[in-house]
Structure 1
Amino acid sequence: MEPLLYLLTLVTVTLITVVFYQFFFGKRVMVSERLQSIKAIGVDYEEDELKTPFIDRVIAPLVDRMAKAVGRMTPSGIKDKYETLIIQAGKQKIMNTNKLLLLQLVSAVIFGGLMYAVTILANLPALLFTAVMAFIGWMLPYVQYRSIARKRQEEIQVSLPSFLDLLYVSVEAGLGFDMAMKRSAEKMKGALAEEIRAVLDDISKGRNRSEALRSLSRRTGVEDLNTFVTAVIQADQLGSNIANMLRVQSMSARTRRRQRIEQAVAKLPVKMIFPLVFFFLPAIFIIILGPALLNVLEALSGTDILR
């Protein structure tokens, strides 16, 4: 009886082992056999993989995994804010939220580490200076992308009146609104033309024109462009004359651009105060009062200072 029990136990354990092996390692064995069969016909995928640059083969996947890990630890509100910033900067093809967060972390570590080494060598308060430099390193990529986004928004804002003029003339010439947008974008260069082409690409893929224009407004974050998009959508929904709406929008855009220029010119005297006080006036004082001061000193001392 006992030999039979031992035999049944052995068979049961063997079956369980085979089942677990097939469950966990069966696919791996199949893949290995498939690779062996491919090698047998003369195709070596391992060699092709080794021909791939080291950065694409090792560094890039490692960076992606680290960026995803940082992204998982970041609150969704901050990620949404960073995503909006990247889109407004026009860098969504080369950057994403996780990579920007990882870039900030690496920058903070580098700046903080360098400052820590300097403070140790110079006998300075290590914790304070290291924390300050780490914070600067953390904020530097964000500030850089914020600056890129603002410059891009300013470029779109400056280009908008010219685009509206072209659009109005094209519609008056008899073109449809979408074709007029295409022709106007072809005549222009820069961020606004790229965004208009993106809108036309969305429309050609079957997206509703209103949704494509709203997406344009969200991507850019330019108030004047948002006003234009709202007017186009309302004219579309109410069935009003597009040409009249474009004429009004073009005149309003030119008026706003002139007002912004006048406002910037009005601020120039205030902005010139500090350069005048700290740079121009001291030089003028030295040139005008320098010789007189030397003459006064010469008269008081009774000797020729310039000799």
Structure 2
Amino acid sequence: MVLFYVLVLFVGIGLLYYALRQDRRLKAAKEFCTASASGELFIKFNNTAQTEELLRRSDKSLSAITKLENNVLLKLLIALAIILPLLALKKAGLVGLSDSSFLLIAIFSFVGAIVLPSMIKRLIIERRIAEISKNIPMFVDLLAVCVQTGMNIESAIKFLESSISNINKAFAPFLSKMILKSQISGLEAALDELQRELPSTQISMMCVTLKQSLKYGSAVYDSLTGLSEEIRQMELLQTEEAIGKLGAKMSVPLILFFMFPVIIIIAAPGIMKVLGGI
């Protein structure tokens, strides 16, 4: 009987996953069809896929989790690898589980195998983008030093391409693609594409500064050094803001785990005396 329930659960979760995937595809197609003639929506979807592809080149964990996410059969096998040994132990009497508890574990196993890879992939991508943004001030400083030696912006970026992996391995594929794009469509178009592929405030600030220097002919070195200082100041303000919020966050566990027990310890003897007198 339990095997029948597991089989029904397996089929139901598979159908639910297929329905949700088809619904997501239909919504994406609908948004694409109703997009404006400028093609901004297509660029957004295309760049999201390109961002993930470029990050996979330098991150084996992201590549592995992406393969797992796209392989439905492997997800189901992982869930069954958790459920079947547990079922065997239950039948042998080595694990004391009721049928309802086992069914609940089976549900969580299937749901986790289907949902967790997408969540983990999204967290890894967000973390890699955050690491790239954190290292942008150092890259801007190196770019400013190269410009100060007499290089133009294109030559400086090409020079830093070979050594950028020592700073941030995930940023190297984006820089290589930007160099290839600049050779075909110009540096300004390459900066626009980089800005769309890496949705980050620091990346946007760097791209805007470089485009302004190319367009208006301003002093590149002064602009880059000012940009680096501004980004570091912004990160410092964000750190100070996080530290300022820490006191309010710490007050919650202090109230729950310190103030209430102290109140109970102080008030308990008096309450016990009153109840004893009654």
Letter in 1 for 2:49: E
Is residue 136 from structure 1 mapped to residue 112 from structure 2 by the alignment? yes
Deviations for 1:109-134, whole angstroms, at most 9, x for unmatched residues? 63377458659962117776644442
Is residue 245 from structure 1 mapped to residue 223 from structure 2 by the alignment? yes
1:13 equivalent in structure 2 = none
Letter in 1 for 2:139: F
Larger displacement relative to structure 2 (151-160 or 217-226): 217-226
Is residue 145 from structure 1 mapped to residue 127 from structure 2 by the alignment? no
Larger displacement relative to structure 2 (231-240 or 179-188): 179-188
CA distance in 1, matches of 2:187, 2:51: 24
Query: How many residues get paired?
Result: 224
Is residue 86 from structure 1 mapped to residue 49 from structure 2 by the alignment? no
Letter in 2 for 1:107: K
Q: TM (normalized to structure 2)?
A: 0.59
Letter in 2 for 1:226: S
1:174 partner SS: coil
1:224 partner SS: helix
Cα displacement (A) at 1:206: 4.0
Residue 75 of structure 1: which of 25, 34, 57 is its match?
25
Residue 171 of structure 1: which of 147, 156, 178 is its match?
147
CA change 1:276–1:104 in 2 (3 A) is: farther
Letter in 2 for 1:210: E
The answer (yes or no) to whether the contact 1:178–1:200 under 8 Å persists in 2 is no
2:242 equivalent in structure 1 = 264
Cα displacement (A) at 1:86: 2.4
Larger displacement relative to structure 2 (201-210 or 144-153): 201-210
CA distance in 1, matches of 2:80, 2:185: 48
Cα displacement (A) at 1:225: 0.1
Letter in 2 for 1:202: L
CA distance in 1, matches of 2:212, 2:141: 20
CA distance in 1, matches of 2:76, 2:128: 26
Which structure is richer in relative contact order (CA contacts within 8 A, separation 6 or more)? 2
CA change 1:82–1:205 in 2 (3 A) is: closer
CA distance in 1, matches of 2:149, 2:256: 56
Residue 172 of structure 2: which of 194, 212, 221 is its match?
194
CA change 1:236–1:279 in 2 (3 A) is: same
CA distance in 2, matches of 1:81, 1:215: 8
CA change 1:273–1:85 in 2 (3 A) is: farther
CA distance in 2, matches of 1:232, 1:82: 23
CA distance in 1, matches of 2:154, 2:145: 13
CA change 1:219–1:97 in 2 (3 A) is: farther
Deviations for 1:204-251, whole angstroms, at most 9, x for unmatched residues? 864532233233223322222022213322332333332333233223
Is residue 215 from structure 1 mapped to residue 193 from structure 2 by the alignment? yes
Is residue 158 from structure 1 mapped to residue 124 from structure 2 by the alignment? no
CA change 1:144–1:260 in 2 (3 A) is: same
CA distance in 2, matches of 1:80, 1:206: 19
1:255 equivalent in structure 2 = 233
Cα displacement (A) at 1:141: 0.8
2:218 partner SS: coil
Give unpaired runs (5+ residues) of structure 2. Answer: 1-20, 30-44, 92-96, 273-278
Q: CA RMSD for the aligned pairs?
A: 4.6
2:56 partner SS: coil
CA distance in 1, matches of 2:144, 2:109: 52
Cα displacement (A) at 1:159: 1.0
The answer (yes or no) to whether the contact 1:217–1:226 under 8 Å persists in 2 is yes
Residue 124 of structure 1: which of 92, 100, 104 is its match?
100
Larger displacement relative to structure 2 (192-201 or 151-160): 192-201
